[in-house]
Amino acid sequence: MDIIDRRPNPHGKNLENRRRVLQRARSAVQTAVRDAVARGRIREVGQGNAVSVPSDSLHEPSLHRVFSEGVREIVLTGNREFSRGDRLQRPPSGAGGQGSGAGQAGESGGGEDSFRFVLSRDEFLDLFFDDLELPDLLKREISTTENGVPARSGLSNEGAPSHLDLGRTMRRSIARRLGLGRPKPAELQEVEERIAELEALRPASAEDLEELEGLRERRGTLRQRLARIPWVDPVDLRFRRYTIMPQPATRAVMFCIMDVSGSMTERMKDLAKQFFLLLHVFLERRYKKVEIVFIRHAESAEEVDEDAFFHDPRTGGTIVSSALELMHTIQRERFPSANWNIYVAQASDGDNASSDTMRTASLLRDDILPAVQYYAYIEITGSGAVIRGETDLWRSYRAIADENDHLAIRQVGDRKEIFPVFRDLFSRQHHSAEA
Amino acid sequence: MDQIVSGGGSPARSGGLLYSGNDWNFQIIRDCYDAIEEIATRELGLEIYTNRVEIITSEQMLDVYTAHGMPVGYKHWSFGKRFIGHENAYRRGLMGLAYEVVINSDPCISYLMEENSATMQALVIAHAAFGHNHFFRNNRLFREWTDPSDILDYLEFARGYIARCEERHGLRAVERVLDAAHALQNQGVNRHSGARKLDLKAEQQRAKERRAYEDSVFNDLWRTLPTEAGDAAGTAEGAHARRLLGLPEENLLYFLEKNAPRLAPWEREIIRIVRMIAQYFYPQPQVKMMNEGCATWVHVYIMRRLHELGRIDDAAYLEVIHSTSNVINQPGFDAGGGASFNPYALGYAMMTDIVRICTEPTAEDREWFPDIAGNGDAIGTLRHAWAEYRDESFIQQFLSPKVIRDFRMFRLNDDTAQPYLLVDAIHDEAGYRDIRRSLARVYDPGTFYTEIEIVDVDLLGDRTLKLEHRTRAGQLLQAGDTRQTLDYLASLWGYGVVLNEVDAQTGTVLATHSAGPSQ
């Protein structure tokens, strides 16, 4: 007999098969994933998610019989009260009486109704954002500057202390000390102790004196060697060497602008946040190098961090141009359009101080749009204050959108619409024509 | 008797506990194995394939489930589906994992879970490495239909072959053939036409040579020749042609492999692989009850002997009893969870009953089983039964009135024309034989395999493939599944397919399904 311990064997033998299932049921799983997102919150989404898909897409048909009519005999166990000739009520169809005759009942065609997957976060988001892309990202890819990324490239004799390779250095130091016979400090100490001992002896015999003489000489050599052969010599030093490898980078920045003024109800803010969360997860997922700038505004605008953007409550009046101005300033200072792909997403209820709308429109048309790749504006509708239809902001934006392809404007009224609009804005079709 | 090479540990070291407590290590497993082997070969006279015991984790057990216990398998999404299904059920606590899985191969591989206690490892070794192993090696069905020494090599070949096909022809093309062949795999088995043993090694060799030959004679020019020249030759010799095609043919996959006009050689080979593996698994459901009964009876016997010999302590023996009684529990028809027989329960009860009949027969036994009652050779009788019977014939032969009474079996007559179910036999003198006959019929392969044959090919016309299903009392094919399966069949055949469901007695056609050629 052999005993083989298989436990250390590579795991995940079925990963490939599992992947193929996902592939096969892809469209069904994708629908399920998107439903899950539409129903739930995005943050919760994407961590250990179970989705159910109808099993049609994974059904394995075979030729098998079903009992439909006629006579059959069933042997059962556990008889307590029946005797021959008893007549029993027929159980409601399908409920009982099946399962006799192996493989004959129980699998009436469809098999299980649905099939549950537990997806990893990556799988989930991959399916979720499949075929979405930042529009026109390719455009400036070639012209982007190249970033240097340090990469390990062997060792060198010199370098910054922080790059010191301690292990290698000490190995060389030990080898050199052994080779040159550097005495151990303990050895010197021993000799010195013995000398002190002998010196303390009174009267000293001739032998002792002779030993003392010898020891003193030895002490001299030891001290000399210790001083001459250093513990760590510059020749021991080894440093990790890094070479800067040029790496082309697509540099992109996304400005997220959100109206948090008083006219935005909690529900509307929630919708806007939902949109930006989606955008955020999407960007994080797709583009490792995308910078994101969060700007929120009421009557004045400020740049905030992610956390404040999504979680800090704030209210006030509305001056949209303040946000656009801030965005424009930041863009000019930090993200010159020669080197950066620039994207802007703005969410608002379309409410704006009426004196400001003109200024907003000119700012957008003359300063911002020429500099950016893509500008998406979503308007949260259904506010009580504004009658459904066209707000001032919407009207002026639409006029600009008619002239500029890279300004996209959409209205969103309900959580369910968030994802379709999002898809609409970022689906690959936008630039598939030129690709 | 096989001389098993055991690693260290002398059997002479009898007496004394093999272990105490729950923890096991490899030495304990070896010692237990040696002690168990001693009992299994000396007292029970079991003949086994060389054993290989593999320790695996629960995660690996899920992999094992997916591949029906086979250690290697080709890639296909259906395995992934099964894996995900098992995994979900397991993670949500709906399903416990088996303590062990054993496969019919030589060497016989038993997988033991690392979570098992020392007692469970010993029990599982007795159950799988001796009980099942003996059954695999000796039962007629396995001896005739499977070739355990080559199956592992063949699976290795299959995996490699299919992976190479995927590289050469693309995942999609391979998947098309596999999907279709899987749907037909229950019809890919030779059931009646002779019990020829499959020589899987020669099989591999043959495939390799055929491929090499095809490569060497490949000439692209032939492709440009007009093709219908051969067709015109066939005239009114339909019957002759049918004979040449070997019709009627019950093995659909075999027929496709040999005769489907539009398949590429590699596609035929893939069909062949699916067919070979289906054939290999074909005996298992027919002897499941006996196989489990045999293994359970063997482990109960061995563990009891170990306890009597003082090799395991009382605590361990209680664990054995506890675990065994869980396994052989037979819920009544009204206990929920279906009303099917637990193969462990019925199998174990019948094995124990045979021992009783052989050693302490009653008058009733002498009347029912004159040839074995009181013959005093219980173990020999069992070994004979394990070797020569399958579930159906075993029940027909050995199901005793006592077991029927113990299980309180009864028979229902389900006539859809009547508004009620009729109890027409119970566990009494008048009912024993009826119950026994009906129960045996449940295990008759004829009832759980569908009888479908290819009866004709329209050679002169549009090459439509004609199939026939001989139905049993009101049991027609499930229509939706049948349609989909016929689509698969048509896609392999390349032309139209028609399936008639025919009443076995009168020959009237009850239903017709058809599918057109794909593409």
Q: At B225, is the pLDDT very low, low, confident or very high (cuts 50, 70, 90)?
A: low
Q: Last residue of some domain: A128, A150, A182?
A: A128
Residue of B94, B292, B423, B501 to mutate, interface with A, max A Cβ within 10 Å? B423
My answer on whether A228 and A270 are in the same domain is: no
Compute CA distances B164 → A321, B161, B174, B179, B219, whole Å.
63, 5, 10, 17, 22
For residue B5, list chain A residues with Cβ-Cβ distance below 8 A.
1
DSSP annotation of A389 = S
Considering only residues A232 and A121, tell me which one the structure prediction assigns the higher pLDDT.
A232
Residues A349 and B440: their CA atoms lie apart, in Å, by: 75
My answer on whether A236 and A350 are in the same domain is: no
Q: Last residue of some domain: A215, A240, A265?
A: A240
pLDDT at B479: 84
Name the residue facing B80 among A3, A18, A71 (closest C-beta): A18
Residue in B closest to A8 by C-alpha: B56
User: Does residue A200 sit in helix, strand or coil?
Assistant: helix
pLDDT at B9 over 70: no
Length of chain B: 519
User: What would the DSSP string read from start to end of A313-339?
Assistant: -------HHHHHHHHHHHHHHH--TTT
My answer on whether A367 and A396 are in the same domain is: yes
- Mean pLDDT score, B120-143: 91
pLDDT at B504: 77
Closest CA to B306 of B35, B4, B114, B29: B35
Considering only residues B447 and B427, tell me which one the structure prediction assigns the higher pLDDT.
B427
For residue B430, list chain A residues with Cβ-Cβ distance below 8 A.
84
Min distance A28 CA to chain B CA atoms (Å): 14
Residues B70 and B54: their CA atoms lie apart, in Å, by: 13
pLDDT at B339: 66
Contact A103/B448, CB-based, under 8 Å?
yes
Cβ atoms of A419 and A38 within 8 Å: the answer is yes
Residue of A18, A63, A100 to mutate, interface with B, max B Cβ within 10 Å? A63
Contact B477/A63, CB-based, under 8 Å?
yes
Q: Within 10 Å of residue A293's Cβ, how many Cβ atoms?
A: 20
Name the residue facing B475 among A66, A86, A90 (closest C-beta): A66
Residues A302 and A395: their CA atoms lie apart, in Å, by: 26
Contact B26/A103, CB-based, under 8 Å?
no
My answer on whether A255 and A168 are in the same domain is: no
Is residue A76 in some structural domain? no
Min distance A286 CA to chain B CA atoms (Å): 27
For residue B11, list chain A residues with Cβ-Cβ distance below 8 A.
none
Contact B76/A59, CB-based, under 8 Å?
no
Bridge partner residues of A343 (DSSP):
A254, A374
pLDDT tens, residue by residue, B369-406: 998 888 888 999 999 999 999 999 999 999 999 999 99
My answer on whether A230 and A271 are in the same domain is: no
pLDDT tens, residue by residue, A214-268: 888 999 999 998 888 888 888 889 999 888 877 665 677 888 888 887 777 777 7
Cα dihedral B123, B124, B130, B131 sign: positive
Cβ atoms of A407 and A378 within 8 Å: the answer is no
Task: Name the average pLDDT for chain B.
Answer: 83
My answer on whether A409 and A266 are in the same domain is: yes
pLDDT at B351: 94
My answer on whether A287 and A378 are in the same domain is: yes
Name the residue facing A90 among B57, B107, B420 (closest C-beta): B420
Closest CA to A106 of B333, B418, B339: B339
**Domain range spanning residue A354?**
249-432
User: Which of A130-134, A138-142, A170-174, A314-318 shows the lowest per-residue confidence on average (mean pLDDT)?
Assistant: A138-142
For residue A80, list chain B residues with Cβ-Cβ distance below 8 A.
332, 408
CATH code, A269:
3.40.50.410
pLDDT at A248: 60
Contact B338/A16, CB-based, under 8 Å?
no
- Would residue B24 be called left, alpha or beta, if left means φ above 0 and alpha means ψ between -120 and 50 degrees? beta
Contact B415/A98, CB-based, under 8 Å?
no
pLDDT at B15: 67
Is residue A267 in some structural domain? yes
Cα dihedral B361, B366, B367, B371 sign: positive
Number of domains comprising chain A: 3
Q: Please, which residues have CB within 8 angstroms of residue A435's CB and are 6 or more apart in sequence?
A: A138
| Single-letter code of the amino acid located at B83 | F
Residues A189 and A167: their CA atoms lie apart, in Å, by: 28
Considering only residues B44 and B148, tell me which one the structure prediction assigns the higher pLDDT.
B44
My answer on whether A223 and A255 are in the same domain is: no
My answer on whether A427 and A286 are in the same domain is: yes
My answer on whether A309 and A402 are in the same domain is: yes
pLDDT at A48: 53
- Mean pLDDT score, B336-359: 87
Q: Which two tokens stand for residue B156?
A: 């290795």
User: What would the DSSP string read from start to end of B484-503?
Assistant: HHHHHHHHHHSS-EEEEEEE
Return the number of CB contacts < 8 Å for A and B.
273
Is residue A173 in some structural domain? yes
Q: At B227, is the pLDDT very low, low, confident or very high (cuts 50, 70, 90)?
A: low
pLDDT at B193: 53
Min distance B153 CA to chain A CA atoms (Å): 19
| Separation of first and last alpha carbons in chain A | 63
Considering only residues A188 and B227, tell me which one the structure prediction assigns the higher pLDDT.
A188
Q: Please, which residues have CB within 8 angstroms of residue B345's CB and are 6 or more apart in sequence?
A: B328, B329, B330, B407
pLDDT at A211: 86
- By DSSP bridging, strand A407-412 and strand A374-380 are parallel
My answer on whether A214 and A348 are in the same domain is: no
pLDDT tens, residue by residue, B248-295: 788 889 888 888 888 888 999 999 999 988 888 888 888 999 999 999
pLDDT tens, residue by residue, A71-106: 888 888 888 888 888 888 877 654 444 333 333 333
Closest CA to B276 of B326, B203, B225, B207: B203
Cβ atoms of B187 and B256 within 8 Å: the answer is no
Is residue A377 in some structural domain? yes
pLDDT at B321: 93
Is residue A137 in some structural domain? no
Contact B77/A71, CB-based, under 8 Å?
no
Contact A6/B340, CB-based, under 8 Å?
no
Considering only residues A435 and B147, tell me which one the structure prediction assigns the higher pLDDT.
B147
- By DSSP bridging, strand B420-425 and strand A87-89 are antiparallel
**Displacement of CA B245 from its chain's centroid (Å):** 29
pLDDT at A100: 36
Residue in B closest to A115 by C-alpha: B85
Long-range contacts of B19-26 (CB under 8 A, 24+ apart): B19/B118, B19/B312, B19/B316, B20/B313, B20/B316, B21/B118, B22/B117, B22/B118, B22/B119, B23/B117, B23/B118, B24/B116, B24/B117, B24/B118, B24/B121, B26/A3, B26/A5
Residues A223 and A217: their CA atoms lie apart, in Å, by: 10
Contact A85/B422, CB-based, under 8 Å?
yes
Residue in B closest to A97 by C-alpha: B339
Q: Last residue of some domain: A128, A153, A183?
A: A128
User: What would the DSSP string read from start to end of B184-244?
Assistant: TGGGS--SSS--PPP-HHHHHHHHHHHHHHHHHH--GGGGGS-STHHHHH--S-HHHHHHH
Q: Which two tokens stand for residue B261?
A: 């006009």
Contact A3/B407, CB-based, under 8 Å?
no
Is residue A414 in some structural domain? yes
User: Does residue A155 sit in helix, strand or coil?
Assistant: strand
For residue B4, list chain A residues with Cβ-Cβ distance below 8 A.
1
Min distance B207 CA to chain A CA atoms (Å): 26
pLDDT tens, residue by residue, A193-215: 988 888 887 777 888 888 888 88
Is residue A99 in some structural domain? no
Contact A59/B51, CB-based, under 8 Å?
no
Name the residue facing A13 among B63, B419, B450 (closest C-beta): B63
| Single-letter code of the amino acid located at B321 | I
Task: Name the average pLDDT for chain A.
Answer: 77
My answer on whether A203 and A261 are in the same domain is: no
For residue A75, list chain B residues with Cβ-Cβ distance below 8 A.
341, 409-412, 435, 438-439, 442
User: Does residue A355 sit in helix, strand or coil?
Assistant: helix
pLDDT at B297 over 90: yes
Name the residue facing B426 among A21, A65, A84 (closest C-beta): A84
pLDDT tens, residue by residue, B151-167: 888 888 999 999 999 99
